[in-house]
Amino acid sequence: MTEGRQTKDRQTDNSFVSECLYSDSLSAGIYVTASVLLEYLFCPRFIYFMNCLGIDQNEDKRFKVLKGREIHEGKERVNIDYLRKRIGCIDKEIGVYMESEKYHIRGEVDEVLTLLDGTMAPLDYKYAEYRETVFRTQRYQSVFYGLLIRENYGKEVKRGYICYTRSRNLLKEVQITDEDFVELQSMIKEIIDITQRCYYPKGTRFKAQCIDCCYRNICI
Protein backbone atom coordinates (compact mmCIF):
# COMPACT_ATOMS: atom_id res chain seq x y z
CA MET A 1 0.00 0.00 0.00
CA THR A 2 1.30 3.44 -0.94
CA GLU A 3 -0.01 6.59 0.75
CA GLY A 4 0.09 10.11 -0.59
CA ARG A 5 2.00 9.18 -3.70
CA GLN A 6 1.80 11.70 -6.51
CA THR A 7 1.31 9.70 -9.66
CA LYS A 8 3.00 10.38 -12.94
CA ASP A 9 0.88 11.47 -15.83
CA ARG A 10 0.69 8.47 -18.12
CA GLN A 11 -1.11 8.54 -21.42
CA THR A 12 -3.90 6.09 -22.20
CA ASP A 13 -6.02 5.52 -25.26
CA ASN A 14 -9.39 7.16 -24.60
CA SER A 15 -10.81 6.81 -28.11
CA PHE A 16 -14.33 7.26 -26.75
CA VAL A 17 -13.58 10.98 -26.25
CA SER A 18 -12.93 13.32 -29.14
CA GLU A 19 -9.46 14.86 -29.25
CA CYS A 20 -10.92 18.01 -30.78
CA LEU A 21 -13.18 19.19 -27.96
CA TYR A 22 -10.63 21.68 -26.63
CA SER A 23 -8.87 24.50 -28.41
CA ASP A 24 -5.30 24.49 -27.05
CA SER A 25 -4.99 28.25 -27.47
CA LEU A 26 -8.00 28.85 -25.25
CA SER A 27 -7.74 26.13 -22.63
CA ALA A 28 -3.98 26.05 -22.07
CA GLY A 29 -3.21 26.39 -18.37
CA ILE A 30 -6.82 25.98 -17.25
CA TYR A 31 -7.62 23.05 -14.99
CA VAL A 32 -11.05 22.10 -13.71
CA THR A 33 -11.34 20.62 -10.21
CA ALA A 34 -14.06 18.45 -8.73
CA SER A 35 -15.26 21.41 -6.64
CA VAL A 36 -15.71 23.55 -9.75
CA LEU A 37 -17.58 20.70 -11.42
CA LEU A 38 -19.97 20.55 -8.45
CA GLU A 39 -20.66 24.28 -8.77
CA TYR A 40 -21.38 23.81 -12.47
CA LEU A 41 -23.73 20.90 -11.80
CA PHE A 42 -25.65 23.01 -9.30
CA CYS A 43 -25.98 25.75 -11.93
CA PRO A 44 -23.72 26.68 -14.89
CA ARG A 45 -24.19 30.36 -14.02
CA PHE A 46 -22.12 29.84 -10.88
CA ILE A 47 -19.09 29.55 -13.18
CA TYR A 48 -19.97 32.86 -14.86
CA PHE A 49 -20.49 34.77 -11.62
CA MET A 50 -17.35 33.39 -9.97
CA ASN A 51 -14.87 33.16 -12.84
CA CYS A 52 -16.01 36.01 -15.11
CA LEU A 53 -17.43 38.60 -12.70
CA GLY A 54 -15.32 37.62 -9.69
CA ILE A 55 -18.34 37.49 -7.38
CA ASP A 56 -17.77 34.88 -4.72
CA GLN A 57 -20.52 33.07 -2.90
CA ASN A 58 -21.45 34.35 0.54
CA GLU A 59 -18.83 33.06 2.92
CA ASP A 60 -21.11 32.04 5.77
CA LYS A 61 -19.53 28.60 5.48
CA ARG A 62 -21.92 25.93 6.49
CA PHE A 63 -21.25 23.52 9.32
CA LYS A 64 -21.39 20.62 6.90
CA VAL A 65 -18.67 22.10 4.73
CA LEU A 66 -16.35 22.67 7.66
CA LYS A 67 -17.16 19.29 9.13
CA GLY A 68 -16.64 17.72 5.73
CA ARG A 69 -13.11 19.08 5.69
CA GLU A 70 -12.46 17.50 9.06
CA ILE A 71 -13.69 14.18 7.71
CA HIS A 72 -11.40 14.41 4.69
CA GLU A 73 -8.42 15.45 6.81
CA GLY A 74 -8.98 12.51 9.13
CA LYS A 75 -10.32 9.97 6.67
CA GLU A 76 -7.25 7.77 7.12
CA ARG A 77 -8.60 6.95 10.57
CA VAL A 78 -11.87 5.58 9.23
CA ASN A 79 -11.61 1.81 9.31
CA ILE A 80 -13.67 0.33 6.50
CA ASP A 81 -11.27 -2.46 5.57
CA TYR A 82 -14.06 -5.01 5.89
CA LEU A 83 -16.03 -3.10 3.24
CA ARG A 84 -13.04 -2.94 0.92
CA LYS A 85 -12.66 -6.71 1.16
CA ARG A 86 -16.33 -7.16 0.35
CA ILE A 87 -15.96 -5.31 -2.96
CA GLY A 88 -12.80 -7.18 -3.93
CA CYS A 89 -10.23 -4.50 -3.14
CA ILE A 90 -6.69 -5.87 -3.15
CA ASP A 91 -4.77 -2.60 -2.77
CA LYS A 92 -5.40 1.05 -1.95
CA GLU A 93 -3.59 4.37 -2.13
CA ILE A 94 -4.68 7.25 0.08
CA GLY A 95 -4.77 10.94 -0.80
CA VAL A 96 -3.50 10.64 -4.38
CA TYR A 97 -3.11 13.93 -6.27
CA MET A 98 -3.38 13.65 -10.05
CA GLU A 99 -3.58 15.84 -13.13
CA SER A 100 -4.53 15.30 -16.74
CA GLU A 101 -3.19 17.87 -19.18
CA LYS A 102 -5.17 16.17 -21.93
CA TYR A 103 -8.54 16.77 -20.25
CA HIS A 104 -7.63 19.84 -18.21
CA ILE A 105 -8.58 18.32 -14.87
CA ARG A 106 -6.81 17.84 -11.55
CA GLY A 107 -7.60 16.86 -8.00
CA GLU A 108 -6.90 14.64 -5.03
CA VAL A 109 -8.72 11.33 -4.81
CA ASP A 110 -9.49 10.18 -1.27
CA GLU A 111 -8.59 6.59 -2.10
CA VAL A 112 -7.55 4.84 -5.30
CA LEU A 113 -8.60 1.20 -5.14
CA THR A 114 -7.23 -1.72 -7.13
CA LEU A 115 -9.83 -4.46 -7.58
CA LEU A 116 -9.59 -8.20 -8.11
CA ASP A 117 -10.71 -7.97 -11.74
CA GLY A 118 -7.76 -5.72 -12.62
CA THR A 119 -9.79 -2.51 -12.82
CA MET A 120 -9.37 0.47 -10.52
CA ALA A 121 -11.91 2.66 -8.74
CA PRO A 122 -12.10 5.90 -6.76
CA LEU A 123 -13.41 5.92 -3.20
CA ASP A 124 -14.81 9.25 -2.02
CA TYR A 125 -15.81 10.10 1.56
CA LYS A 126 -18.92 12.22 2.05
CA TYR A 127 -19.93 13.90 5.31
CA ALA A 128 -23.56 13.19 4.46
CA GLU A 129 -26.38 10.76 5.00
CA TYR A 130 -27.40 8.41 2.22
CA ARG A 131 -30.89 9.44 1.10
CA GLU A 132 -32.05 6.48 -0.98
CA THR A 133 -30.12 7.56 -4.07
CA VAL A 134 -26.70 8.73 -5.19
CA PHE A 135 -27.22 12.32 -6.30
CA ARG A 136 -26.10 13.45 -9.75
CA THR A 137 -23.44 15.72 -8.24
CA GLN A 138 -21.98 12.84 -6.25
CA ARG A 139 -22.16 10.48 -9.21
CA TYR A 140 -20.28 12.79 -11.57
CA GLN A 141 -17.66 13.52 -8.94
CA SER A 142 -16.93 9.78 -9.01
CA VAL A 143 -16.79 9.89 -12.82
CA PHE A 144 -14.38 12.85 -12.57
CA TYR A 145 -12.05 10.95 -10.25
CA GLY A 146 -12.43 7.88 -12.44
CA LEU A 147 -11.15 9.79 -15.47
CA LEU A 148 -8.15 10.98 -13.48
CA ILE A 149 -7.35 7.41 -12.49
CA ARG A 150 -7.84 6.12 -16.02
CA GLU A 151 -5.49 8.75 -17.41
CA ASN A 152 -2.75 8.43 -14.79
CA TYR A 153 -2.73 4.67 -14.28
CA GLY A 154 -3.76 3.46 -17.74
CA LYS A 155 -6.30 1.10 -16.15
CA GLU A 156 -9.99 0.59 -16.80
CA VAL A 157 -12.39 2.29 -14.40
CA LYS A 158 -15.87 0.79 -14.44
CA ARG A 159 -17.14 1.83 -11.03
CA GLY A 160 -16.61 4.20 -8.15
CA TYR A 161 -17.50 4.07 -4.46
CA ILE A 162 -18.91 6.63 -2.04
CA CYS A 163 -18.68 6.27 1.74
CA TYR A 164 -21.47 8.16 3.56
CA THR A 165 -19.94 8.82 6.96
CA ARG A 166 -23.20 10.03 8.54
CA SER A 167 -24.88 6.75 7.63
CA ARG A 168 -22.41 4.63 9.60
CA ASN A 169 -19.90 4.55 6.75
CA LEU A 170 -22.41 3.12 4.29
CA LEU A 171 -20.60 2.26 1.06
CA LYS A 172 -22.45 2.68 -2.26
CA GLU A 173 -21.26 1.64 -5.71
CA VAL A 174 -21.49 3.93 -8.74
CA GLN A 175 -21.38 2.32 -12.18
CA ILE A 176 -19.23 4.29 -14.65
CA THR A 177 -19.59 3.89 -18.42
CA ASP A 178 -17.81 5.32 -21.45
CA GLU A 179 -20.90 7.47 -22.02
CA ASP A 180 -20.42 8.97 -18.56
CA PHE A 181 -16.88 10.00 -19.50
CA VAL A 182 -18.16 11.58 -22.72
CA GLU A 183 -20.80 13.53 -20.79
CA LEU A 184 -18.22 14.63 -18.23
CA GLN A 185 -15.91 15.99 -20.89
CA SER A 186 -18.79 17.95 -22.39
CA MET A 187 -19.30 19.57 -18.97
CA ILE A 188 -15.60 20.34 -18.65
CA LYS A 189 -15.59 21.93 -22.09
CA GLU A 190 -18.49 24.21 -21.18
CA ILE A 191 -16.83 25.24 -17.90
CA ILE A 192 -13.71 26.23 -19.83
CA ASP A 193 -15.76 27.98 -22.53
CA ILE A 194 -17.68 30.04 -19.97
CA THR A 195 -14.46 30.99 -18.19
CA GLN A 196 -12.57 31.96 -21.34
CA ARG A 197 -15.34 33.59 -23.37
CA CYS A 198 -17.35 34.95 -20.43
CA TYR A 199 -20.69 34.19 -21.99
CA TYR A 200 -23.84 34.00 -19.89
CA PRO A 201 -25.00 30.36 -19.86
CA LYS A 202 -28.45 28.97 -19.32
CA GLY A 203 -29.36 28.51 -15.68
CA THR A 204 -30.32 25.29 -13.97
CA ARG A 205 -33.55 23.62 -15.01
CA PHE A 206 -34.20 22.75 -11.37
CA LYS A 207 -35.81 26.04 -10.38
CA ALA A 208 -36.33 24.98 -6.77
CA GLN A 209 -32.57 25.46 -6.33
CA CYS A 210 -32.97 29.16 -7.13
CA ILE A 211 -34.93 29.90 -3.95
CA ASP A 212 -31.93 30.01 -1.61
CA CYS A 213 -29.23 30.64 -4.22
CA CYS A 214 -26.68 33.27 -3.21
CA TYR A 215 -26.86 34.82 -6.71
CA ARG A 216 -30.65 35.00 -6.97
CA ASN A 217 -30.75 38.82 -6.71
CA ILE A 218 -28.45 39.35 -9.70
CA CYS A 219 -29.40 36.35 -11.82
CA ILE A 220 -31.66 37.26 -14.74
Asked if the structure places residue 190 within a domain, the reply is yes
**pTM of the entire structure?**
0.80
CATH number for position 31 = 3.90.320.10
pLDDT band at 216 (very low <50, low <70, confident <90, very high): confident
Asked if the structure places residue 12 within a domain, the reply is no
Q: How many domains does the chain have?
A: 1
Asked if the structure places residue 51 within a domain, the reply is yes
Asked if the structure places residue 6 within a domain, the reply is no
Asked if the structure places residue 184 within a domain, the reply is yes
Helices (H), the chain: 24-27, 34-42, 45-47, 63-73, 81-86, 136-153, 178-197
Measure the CA–CA gap between 208 and 148, rounded to whole angstroms.
Answer: 32
Query: What single DSSP character describes residue 67?
Result: H
Contact 113, 84 (CB under 8 A): yes
Give the highest mean pLDDT range of 20-34, 65-79, 182-196: 182-196
pLDDT band at 196 (very low <50, low <70, confident <90, very high): very high
Asked if the structure places residue 5 within a domain, the reply is no
Asked if the structure places residue 25 within a domain, the reply is yes
How high is the pLDDT of residue 71? 53
- Containing domain of residue 105, as a range? 20-210
Q: Enumerate helices (H) and strands (E) in the chain, giving the number of each.
A: 7, 6
Question: Element (H or E) spanning 15, and its range?
Answer: none
Asked if the structure places residue 1 within a domain, the reply is no
From the CB of residue 109, how many other CB atoms can be counted at a distance below 10 Å?
Answer: 26
Asked whether residue 21 carries a pLDDT value surpassing 50, the answer given is no
Q: What pLDDT, in 10s, does the model give residues 124-155?
A: 999 899 999 999 999 999 999 999 999 999 99
How high is the pLDDT of residue 69? 54
Q: What pLDDT, in 10s, does the model give residues 79-100?
A: 678 888 889 999 999 999 999 9
